[in-house]
Amino acid sequence: MKFVSGIVLGMLLCVGTWTLNAQNEAAKHPRIEAAIRAIKDAREELGAAPDDFGGHKADAIKACDNAIHQLQLALEYRAKKDRH
Cβ(36)–Cβ(44) under 8 Å?
no
User: Does the residue 14 lie in any domain?
Assistant: no
User: Does the residue 23 lie in any domain?
Assistant: yes
Supply the pTM of this predicted model.
0.70
User: Does the residue 5 lie in any domain?
Assistant: no
User: Does the residue 53 lie in any domain?
Assistant: yes
| Containing structural domain, residue 26 | 19-83
User: Does the residue 10 lie in any domain?
Assistant: no
Chain segment 33-81, per-residue pLDDT in tens: 999 999 999 999 999 999 999 999 999 999 999 999 999 999 999 998 8
User: Does the residue 75 lie in any domain?
Assistant: yes
User: Does the residue 7 lie in any domain?
Assistant: no
At residue 73, the 3 state secondary structure works out as helix
Residue type, 23: Q
Instruction: Please count the structural domains in the chain.
Output: 1
